[in-house]
Structure 1
Amino acid sequence: MGDEEYEDLLRPLLLPQLTYSRDEVLLGKPCPIPASSGLYAWFFDEVPPVVPVPERLAAVPWKVLYVGIAPKPVPRNGARASRRTIRDRVKEHLRGNAEGSTLRLTLGCLLADQLGLELRRVGSGNRLTFVHGEQVLNDWLDAHARVSYLAVDSPRDVERVVIEREYLPLNLSDNRHNPFFEELTRIRKDAKAAARALPVVANPSGRGG
């Protein structure tokens, strides 16, 4: 994909005229994110303290730190293909928990000291969430996160190109070239290990557990 083609295709995602807040996505009627396949990009006006920001991005008020897709690629093991849409996934990131959202897991681990979050095993002990801290993370997303989208038929192919070309420190898949990859991998691994060493806590009521 040439530079001009890339810029034309990705402009609505990476340089959008509109981005959407948590309330706009969850309460909007209709929801501004379509129920289609595609990509979504997360913009933040506050970067977690340990995440390095290149000098060229330092003055950018809202920085793109993560992209995702829906549906997931067709499993190679013959399992049923996902039918989830970008609307489904964006809403899951905004109101779900760390077990179902890799973005929430990453943000919670990076903001643990700042927000007083702790990853724990819940319920049967097989699931990891920030328990009541998921609501704290919701409040942080309310204040500091915005999302854009790009509806495309083959999102995985486009996602690979975006991750290769852009500085996306919160992505792990296909992103080993990013200078924050090893540190983020370690932070998440350590948080999971610490959670598994602690007793299981009761599954809280509501969506946060």
Structure 2
Amino acid sequence: MSEMIESPVAAARLKLALAIGENAAFDGWTAAAVEAAALAEGVDPAVAALAVPTDPVGLIQLYGEGVDAALAERLPPDRLGAMKIRERIRSLVWERLQIQEPAKEAIRRALAILAMPQNLASAARFSWRSADVMWRMAGDTATDYNHYTKRTILSAVYGSTLLAWLQDESEGSADTAAFLDRRIDEVMRFEKWKAGIGKREMPSLTRFLGRLRYPPR
């Protein structure tokens, strides 16, 4: 069987994904950011124009796909497999933030775009995708109720940590690291409680998610 050959357009799309976000810090989620990314990555502008979306939401989605790909490279299965589950989730969230560091200002702009009423469905889909990718990388294979609760909870953890990170001016994002550790600890306590007392009484997922989204610093 012959090997599948990646098309130039598909290759350009993957190559440009992160660079577009990094240039969006200066040019916004626009064609100008695509052009700058193509120049930086040595991609023919004509190919770049065919390879990537033309709307801001599409460009934000593409950037997210680039972050997913970079995350998989930085934390391959053999490395994650040597960690306990808490460390896997913590490492995935933290490494995701590190990948996005060069695009921090662009992410602020992206969140403002996704907060627009017409983009709320896309924002929810992107959040779910990020959580799903991280859980799958962590080795989760659940298909029952836990499949959805795990992703809902991780979406809240990641979302609140992302907001803390965007405001963090501490050296090495130390405040964000501490914030993330507290959120992960809360999740672990919730899971432990759900496995014990929760067998006799269903946990209040809504109340728990509220604590993750609006926790005390």
**Common topology (TM > 0.5):** no
Higher strand share: 1
Q: Which has the higher contact order (CA 8 A, sep 6+)?
A: 1
Larger-Rg structure: 2
Q: Give me the TM-score of the superposition, normalised by structure 2.
A: 0.28
| TM-score normalised to structure 1 length | 0.29
